[in-house]
Amino acid sequence: MSEAAIKYRLIKKEKHTGARLGEITTPHGTIQTPIFMPVGTQATVKSLSPEELKEMNAQIILSNTYHLWERPGDDLVAEAGGLHKFMNWDRPILTDSGGFQVFSLAKLRDINEQGVNFRSNLNGAKLFLSPEKAIHIENNLGADIMMSFDECPPFFESYDYIKKSVERTSRWAERGLNAHRNPKTQGLFGIVQGGGHKQLRQQSARDLTAMDFAGYSIGGLSVGESKSEMNHVLEFTTPMLPENKPRYLMGVGSPDALIDGAIRGVDMFDCVLPTRIARNGTCMTSHGRLVVKNAKFARDFRPIDENCNCYTCRNFTRAYVRHLFKADETFGLRLTSYHNLYFLINLMKQVREAIKNDELLDFKEAFFEQYGLNVANPKNF
């Protein structure tokens, strides 16, 4: 038996697309792919309990290294017995490296070969993050799957800048791999960057696949480029990645992007989208987005989605959920958060089923049509 923390098994490839049915074995259980992973930024998936996440069949959740490092501190989490024990979640966890947050949230960055100097977005304190430091924090957190510390440059940055950045990200990846203390209990993924440039994606993938990573993430997408640009990059990037390792598209959570990503051979997805829009009263339904706060739902006693079998839809009406939002009651955002996560988790279950039956393109066509995506300028993305 191999001693690797993470193992990927390819069960089958879909006949007409690049989609893969697979499973990933981790120290906290085996997950079925393609999969959507709910995000628990601060060691909690906003408003929901671990039991509710299990009830909706969340197989793995994500948490954020940068946020936990700042608060409550990775040393405190380690003292609690690790992130699983701290938040009472006994299924797999994935942590990012903090890289994305450093580049999206922090102020006054200074990047050099050693790492990044920046200011805390909580309190303005001077902070420094390097590949070694990020891996040290992730080792303290103890997630099943960890990410390398990378630079995530803007999609439309110059070729020259992105080339230099990719090369540094590769050097950082190697340093992280060397710093990793728990390879038997935590698997480390490399992150392929390269913006929209095939040549740079190729360079990044070649560098990283030459090292022994447990899986490969595709970073630098869903950062402002169009859906078709993203799909184009995925189209040429996933074939650069080894078949026997999982592939994770970071920060993507709209239903169409999940289906399009799976078609192009992506196994794992995460995004705050479903819980973020839920807090605003926006629900994903089989007929597109529904803003339950709208006045027209005041006396609508149907469930949020008549085709949905989630806790919220089985027990509560649009009128009641709308009332909770109008009255500023947190139970409202519990109900919409539950519904949206269930929707995406259930969507990926249908995607896996469609791969099994070699009918993923038919499934996509029917889903897009019903969701309202087959119009000229779809609003309900």
Q: Is 152 annotated as a binding residue?
A: no
Residue 142 zone, left/alpha/beta (φ > 0; ψ -120 to 50; rest): left
Contact between 280 and a second copy by CB under 8 A: the answer reads no
The Cα 194–Cα 153 span in angstroms is 8
- The DSSP secondary structure of 46-92, one letter per residue, reads TT--HHHHHHTT---EEE-HHHHHHTT-HHHHHHTTSHHHHHT--S-
Binding residue for a second copy (CB under 8 A) from 12, 71, 164, 206? 71
Contact between 327 and a second copy by CB under 8 A: the answer reads yes
Q: Is 180 annotated as a binding residue?
A: no
Contact between 302 and a second copy by CB under 8 A: the answer reads no
Q: Which range of residues in 44-52, 166-174, 213-221, 281-289 is near a second copy by CB under 8 A?
A: 44-52
Q: How far is CA 379 from CA 166, 209, 308, in A?
A: 34, 38, 21
Contact between 216 and a second copy by CB under 8 A: the answer reads no
Contact between 84 and a second copy by CB under 8 A: the answer reads no
Number of residues that bind a second copy (CB under 8 A): 36
Q: Which two tokens stand for residue 27?
A: 């120290």
Contact between 309 and a second copy by CB under 8 A: the answer reads no
Torsion sign across C-alpha atoms 110, 115, 120, 126: negative
Q: How far is CA 227 from CA 209, 259, 301, in A?
A: 26, 12, 35
Q: Where do the H-state alpha helices sit in the chain?
A: 50-55, 65-70, 74-79, 83-87, 99-104, 131-141, 159-179, 198-209, 227-237, 255-263, 273-278, 311-315, 318-326, 330-356, 360-371
Contact between 54 and a second copy by CB under 8 A: the answer reads no
Contact between 329 and a second copy by CB under 8 A: the answer reads yes
Whether 90 is catalytic is no
Cβ distance 116 to 107 under 8 Å?
no
Q: Which two tokens stand for residue 45?
A: 């998936």
Binding residue for a second copy (CB under 8 A) from 316, 342, 367, 371? 316
Cβ distance 131 to 149 under 8 Å?
yes
Strand partners, 61: 93
State the nearest-atom distance from the C-beta of 66 to a second copy, in Å: 13
Q: Is 22 annotated as a binding residue?
A: no
Strand partners, 127: 118
Binding residue for a second copy (CB under 8 A) from 10, 211, 291, 319? 319
Of 9 and 302, nearer to a second copy (C-beta) is 302
Given 207, 260, 270, 305, which residue is catalytic?
A: 270
Contact between 72 and a second copy by CB under 8 A: the answer reads yes
Of 87 and 345, nearer to a second copy (C-beta) is 87
Q: Which two tokens stand for residue 329?
A: 């009651």
Q: Is 49 annotated as a binding residue?
A: no
State the nearest-atom distance from the C-beta of 276 to a second copy, in Å: 14
Contact between 86 and a second copy by CB under 8 A: the answer reads yes
Cβ distance 269 to 288 under 8 Å?
no
Cis ω on the peptide bond leading into residue 27 (within 30° of 0)?
no
Binding residue for a second copy (CB under 8 A) from 20, 264, 334, 352? 334
Of 165 and 275, nearer to a second copy (C-beta) is 275
Whether 74 is catalytic is no
Given 74, 96, 260, 305, which residue is catalytic?
A: 96
Q: Summarize as ranges the residues that interact with a second copy (CB under 8 A).
A: 42-44, 46-50, 67, 71-72, 76, 79-81, 86-88, 298-299, 301, 315-317, 319-320, 322-324, 326-327, 329-331, 333-334
Q: What are the catalytic residues?
A: 96, 270
Which residues define the annotated binding site for Zn(2+)? 308, 310, 313, 339
Which residues define the annotated binding site for substrate? 96-100, 150, 193, 220
Which residues define the annotated binding site? 96-100, 150, 193, 220, 308, 310, 313, 339
